[in-house]
Amino acid sequence: MPKSRRLPVDERLEEAAKLVLRSRIFFDIWSYFESKDTRPPIIDTMNYFSDYFRFDPHAHFVAFIVHIAALFEKRRDTINLPDLARELKQSNLISAQAAADIDVLLSHANRFAPKVYILRSNLFAHRSASLSYDGAFKKAAVTPRQMRLLTELALKIVNQLLLARGLGNHSFYPSPLEDAEAMLKALKKAQRP
């Protein structure tokens, strides 16, 4: 079978940026539904519409885990941050200082990325036959704070790579979370007494 050609590096960088932004949207909405700080005021509405909210927070969490894990895997046949950084360094498309800065960020991310791999590989992309659902979370030992930090590191890395190529940087945007909050407020008003 012939080796497939990779998309141009700039196109892969933009796709990586989209994955970073999507992962943060999925994380923010999941966190809004599940966080001990934001859940109490909305739990009655969520319970009222229980057939929907029984599954939606989980769907956002699964999407987050799959996206963020993909960004930090080290395969050469996928769009991921370590491979993009390696390619830009090997092709001399990035300065030595930028490469060093990205290596530091990747090193920080590598403290948390293996934790999300455990969840992706044992629960969501594959379902372990030897590890329970709770057991996978215990083994991963990842906190929401660490997951949020991983999205922040991913954004810094992708923006450094984009900057090195003369492309525009990206930032997280709050509108999807704001829409989720507005939706819960509207649903609360729609509840029958």
Q: Return the percent helix, strand and coil in the chain, to nearest 5.
A: 70, 0, 30
pTM listed for this prediction: 0.93
Spatial separation of the C-alpha atoms in residues 133 and 166, rounded to whole Å: 44
The amino acid present at 84, given as its one-letter code, is L
60: nearest Cα among 89, 86, 82, 30? 30
Tens place of pLDDT for every residue, the chain, 193 residues?
A: 456 788 999 999 999 999 999 999 999 999 999 999 999 999 999 999 999 999 999 999 999 999 999 999 988 899 999 999 999 999 999 999 999 999 999 999 999 999 999 999 999 888 888 989 999 999 999 999 999 999 999 999 999 999 999 999 999 999 999 999 999 999 999 887 6
